[in-house]
Amino acid sequence: MQVTVNGSTTDVPDDATVAALVADLVAGRAGGHGRVAVARNGDVVPRSAWETTGLAAGDALEVLAPTAGG
């Protein structure tokens, strides 16, 4: 199925969860998903709900990570 992640259409498995999506997006990145926030259709998904929050076709997700700089 297709969802939109940070403005880009992305294919995910039909049984995808927020946790699986984040794991795929941050694989191999320093810090992993320890400092990531997720919004699904405009609502923040608490980290405690990532494993149980399923994705549906057409969902719009924003996956945000803080950046250092000044």
> Would residue 70 count as lying in a domain?
no
Query: Which pLDDT tens digit goes with each residue over 6-27?
Result: 999 999 999 999 999 999 887 7
The β-bridge partners of 40 are 43, 61
Q: What is the mean pLDDT of residues 44-65?
A: 96
CB 3 within 8 A of CB 62: no
pLDDT band at residue 65 using 50, 70 and 90 as cut-offs: confident
d(CA 66, CA 31): 11
d(CA 24, CA 20): 6
Domain that holds residue 6: 2-64
> Would residue 69 count as lying in a domain?
no
Provide the pLDDT for residue 1.
97
Structurally, the chain folds into a number of domains equal to 1
Q: What is the mean pLDDT of residues 30-37?
A: 68
